[in-house]
Every structure is written in C-alpha cells, then in structure tokens.
C-alpha cells in the first residue's frame, strides 16, 4: 500500500528540509511539498525528523563465544534494533579453520532465516589464508554479496589470525573489491599480561581492562594501517576505543591510506571505572577493547566531529549477567566478552552528540547510516532519503526525554549497560522497505520480513544491483 509521510523534517547527511514523502512498493517514490496520492495512507510526522534508517555495521547475534552463546538472536536483536531506529544490521559470520567458509555462511543463513524483522547482511571472518580460502572468496563476493572480511588481531588461540593472514587478506581484498575489517588489539601481548595477572591472583573484572591497555590497541591499529598502505588496500578498524588508536588512523589517513574507523556508544559515554563496580557487577562492562579512562572520550568525540572516525557500530554481543557473565566469577578471563548496545546506539549519539552540540544533525545521519551504507556497498539503496531508495525510515521525536533501563528495553538480556542514563530524542515509528516495524513506539512487524541483502563491492553502488535484495 502507498504511504504519504507528511509534515516531517527530512534529514540526510547533507541537507535538512521540510518535505512530504510518497512511498510506493517499498521505495521512496516522490519527495516534495503538499504531495497527495490516491489511495495512500497518510502518516503525520509533524514535529518529527525523518531520518534514513540507521545501519548497524557491527553485531554479533546468537554468536558462540566464551563457552556460551550471545543471548540476543536475529529476532530479539533486530526487534531491539528497530525500536532504536536501526533498519539494517550487518552481522559477523564466524568461520572455522580447516572448514569450508560456505558451511559457516549457511549456518548464519539458517539462524537468521525467518527471524529478522529488518534487513541484514553478513561480514565474513578470515582466520587463515590458504588455497581453499582464496578459491572461495570470489564466489562469496559474487554469489553471497559478502564484500567485507574481518580479521581478528586478538583472542589468541580462539579467533586470532597472524600478520601473514592479515596482509594476504588485504592484498586479496584489493584485487577483488572487498573491505578488510580488523579487531585491532595485540593478542600476543594481551595473552602474556593476562597470564601474569592470573598468576598474581588478580582475577576481578577490572583486570580485564588493565591487561588490555590502550597501547596494545594503538600498536595493532598502527600495524594494520601500515600493512594496508603497503598493500595499497582498504581497511576499516572496528570498535576504536582510545586516543592511541585514533592517532594511528588519523596518521594513516594523512598519508593518504584508505583507512576508516568506527567507534561505539559505550566508549563515548562509559569509562573504565564501570569495571570496578562491587558484587561482580563490573562483569556487565567486560568487552574488548575495554572501557578506557574518561579522557579518551573527548578524543573520540573530536574524531567523529573532524572525520578521523566516520561511523558508529554497536558491537552488540549480549550476555545475561545471571548465568552468563557469572561464568567468570573468580577469573575475569572466563567472563564472556560483549554487551547489549544495539537498541541505544542511535539514541545515545543523538542525545550526547547532537543535543550537546558535539556533532551536527547531518553528521549524526552520516555517522549512523549514510557513511556505513557507502562503505559497505548498500548505498544509495539504503542510507539516504532519495527517490528510488528503500523506504527505510525513522520518524524521530527530538523532544522526548526518557531514561534508559532494562525494565523498558527490548533486548533479551537482564541488564542494560546504560541503566539510568537520561536521553533526549526517541524513534517513534520505524519503517523497513515502506512497512511499519515500529508504529507509535509499538512493535508491529513480524519475524522473517527482514531480508538478507547482497552488498556491492567496496567503492561500488548498489543501484545497478537494486533487484538483488534477496530473501534467503
């Protein structure tokens, strides 16, 4: 059914203007003043911004990790994402050494099928490079539309890849049109520091942060950036948490290297003292890289403002406190790493960023949606408000004041990392390809309506492949 969104203020990465939008067949069909259309349902967006739907480039839904599985799956995770104003997620598909990558991709399709309420895609982990892997990558790009590849420089003996793997992935990505993503921490040094801490009986959650200092993130970020320059390739550094890493990204960009950086809300508003909470509550804030001393926050905000960092991911990887985080009582190395962030990503950036004058409204749209669409082969089908684009839209009331809490959130876990935080602004209604998923703050979608999206190669647009949004 056609829809007319009337009286809203449309915001893109470059413009803010009053306009009506006509939605037809899931796409934006017209943008203008006083639009009318026979048979269209009228939606009043008075007082609301109309943003392109948020794109979360970094989620781990139902992911096996640390002897357990992250609690939010493709159903609860995408419902929570939609409540927060996100209409597309790109999840990390983990591979296993010695096994065909396609079997991991099939596993990820199986767990997302019939569950997602918004559109989604996958990044693929590269844990090793050998002839089998090199043979599979071109088909993964062409058939699966997976065009971004993740290399872990940390989690020794679990996910960590060596520098040869990273370098050869960069070379291959350059040849084939992929974007290499890195978890940049020096896993070998962390392994040594961790063993030393445990030997000394330093087992509380705070030692998770103290054994992964900013220097190990800065070192790995600089190494990955240098290797990218050498390979003349392209790199996206996920979850940047500290000034040490920001400096390395900024330096690489000054040299003309094609290096991009993502931060996450948790690093912008929380700090290392959270890991010192009594009664093991610090475990709720154990993720990697860890929360940092407060002075790093200003550096991250400035980097978002001046463009040294370009995107915001959630790094959603949620575990209950009871029964999951508790696995690490008496040994911080056994606390599953990750937090519930997917729902509050957009809200926190708006409230702390736009309303506090740290970034502009248009930068906010760029950081939460447009730039991510461009980097990950979704633009201009997603990530903007334009004729022909998917009608993935958020009607956002910038005046609402509310308090974040596990009592009211929609994630499946028993705590919220931002509990008690007051924020201004809220997604009131959210549409995915023209259909309401959230309407007047109520979930009205249904599992399985979210579609798997095949993405374009790095640097290419998705327009030519507009019909290739497929259901898997």
The footprint of Zn ion (CB under 5 A) covers: 183, 315
288 forms part of the interface with ligand URP (CB under 6 A): yes
Closest CA to 381 of 448, 450, 449, 467: 467
186 binds, among ligand URP, Zn ion, none (CB under 5 to 8 A by kind): none
Q: How far is the CB of 224 from Zn ion (least distance, A)?
A: 13
Q: How far is the CB of 155 from ligand URP (least distance, A)?
A: 7
C-alpha 320/C-alpha 391 separation (Å) is 34
C-alpha 31/C-alpha 8 separation (Å) is 11
122 binds, among Zn ion, ligand URP, none (CB under 5 to 8 A by kind): none
Q: Give the length of the chain.
A: 472
Backbone angles phi, psi at 462, to 5 degrees: -95, 0
Run of H or E including 297: helix 295-306
Backbone angles phi, psi at 241, to 5 degrees: -115, -10
Q: Which of residues 50-69 bind ligand URP (CB under 6 A)?
A: 60
287 binds, among ligand URP, Zn ion, none (CB under 5 to 8 A by kind): ligand URP
Q: How far is the CB of 124 from Zn ion (least distance, A)?
A: 14
Please give the C-alpha separations between residue 463 and each of 13, 73, 460, 468, in angstroms, as whole numbers: 18, 30, 9, 10
The conformation of residue 114, written as its DSSP 8-state character, comes to T
315 forms part of the interface with ligand URP (CB under 6 A): yes
By CB under 6 A, how many residues form the interface with ligand URP? 8
The three-state secondary structure class of 233 is coil
Closest CA to 315 of 70, 67, 51: 70
211 forms part of the interface with ligand URP (CB under 6 A): no
Q: How far is the CB of 460 from ligand URP (least distance, A)?
A: 26
Minimum CB distance to ligand URP smaller for 244 or for 315: 315
Q: How far is the CB of 388 from ligand URP (least distance, A)?
A: 34
Minimum CB distance to ligand URP smaller for 63 or for 389: 63
Q: Which of residues 172-191 bind ligand URP (CB under 6 A)?
A: 183
Cis-peptide, bond into residue 298, ω within 30° of zero: no
Closest CA to 140 of 116, 109, 118: 109
337 forms part of the interface with ligand URP (CB under 6 A): yes
Minimum CB distance to ligand URP smaller for 211 or for 288: 288
Contacts of 165 (CB under 8 A, 6+ apart): 126, 127, 128, 129, 151
Q: How far is the CB of 313 from ligand URP (least distance, A)?
A: 9
Minimum CB distance to ligand URP smaller for 122 or for 287: 287
338 forms part of the interface with ligand URP (CB under 6 A): yes
Q: Which residues bind ligand URP (CB under 6 A)?
A: 60, 183, 287-288, 315, 317, 337-338
């Amino acid at each position: 059914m056609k829809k007319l969104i009337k009286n809203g203020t449309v915001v893109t990465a470059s413009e803010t203007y009053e306009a009506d939008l006509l939605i037809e067949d899931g796409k934006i069909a017209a943008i203008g003043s006083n639009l009318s259309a026979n048979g269209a349902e009228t939606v009043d967006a008075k007082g609301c911004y109309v943003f392109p739907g948020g794109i979360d480039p970094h989620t781990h839904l139902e992911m096996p990790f640390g002897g357990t599985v992250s609690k939010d799956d493709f159903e609860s995770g995408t419902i929570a994402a939609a409540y927060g104003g996100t209409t597309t997620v790109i999840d990390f598909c983990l591979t296993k050494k010695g096994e065909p990558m396609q079997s991991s991709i099939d596993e990820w399709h199986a767990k997302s099928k019939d569950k997602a309420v918004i559109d989604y895609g996958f990044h693929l982990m590269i844990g090793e490079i050998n002839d089998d892997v090199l043979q599979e990558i071109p088909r993964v790009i062409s058939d699966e539309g997976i065009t971004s590849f993740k290399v872990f420089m940390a989690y020794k003996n679990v996910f960590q890849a060596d520098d040869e793997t990273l370098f050869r992935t960069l070379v291959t990505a350059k040849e084939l049109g992929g974007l290499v993503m890195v978890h940049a921490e020096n896993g070998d040094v962390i392994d040594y520091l961790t063993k030393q801490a445990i030997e000394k009986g330093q087992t509380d959650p705070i030692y998770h942060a103290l054994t992964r200092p900013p220097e190990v993130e800065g070192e790995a970020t600089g190494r990955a950036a240098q290797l990218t320059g050498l390979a003349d390739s392209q790199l996206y550094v996920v979850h940047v948490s500290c000034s040490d890493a920001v400096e390395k990204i900024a330096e690489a960009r000054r040299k003309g290297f094609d290096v991009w950086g993502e931060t996450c809300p948790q690093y912008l508003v929380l700090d290392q003292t959270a890991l010192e909470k009594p009664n093991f509550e610090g475990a709720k804030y154990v993720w990697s890289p860890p929360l940092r001393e407060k002075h790093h926050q200003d550096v991250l905000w400035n980097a978002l403002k001046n463009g040294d960092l370009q995107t915001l991911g959630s790094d959603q990887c949620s575990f209950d406190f009871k029964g999951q985080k508790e696995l690490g009582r008496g040994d911080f190395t056994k606390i599953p790493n990750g937090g519930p962030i997917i729902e509050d990503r957009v809200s926190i950036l708006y409230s702390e960023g736009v309303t506090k004058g740290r970034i502009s409204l248009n930068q906010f749209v760029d950081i939460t949606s447009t730039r991510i669409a461009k980097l990950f082969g979704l633009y201009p089908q997603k990530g903007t408000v334009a004729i022909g684009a998917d009608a993935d839209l958020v009607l956002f009331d910038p005046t609402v004041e509310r308090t974040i809490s596990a009592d009211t959130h929609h994630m499946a876990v028993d705590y919220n990392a931002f509990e008690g935080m007051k924020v201004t602004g809220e997604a009131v209604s959210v549409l995915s390809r023209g259909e309401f998923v959230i309407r007047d703050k109520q979930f009205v979608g249904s599992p399985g309506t979210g579609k798997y999206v095949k993405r374009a190669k790095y640097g290419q647009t998705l327009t030519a492949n507009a019909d290739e949004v497929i259901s898997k």
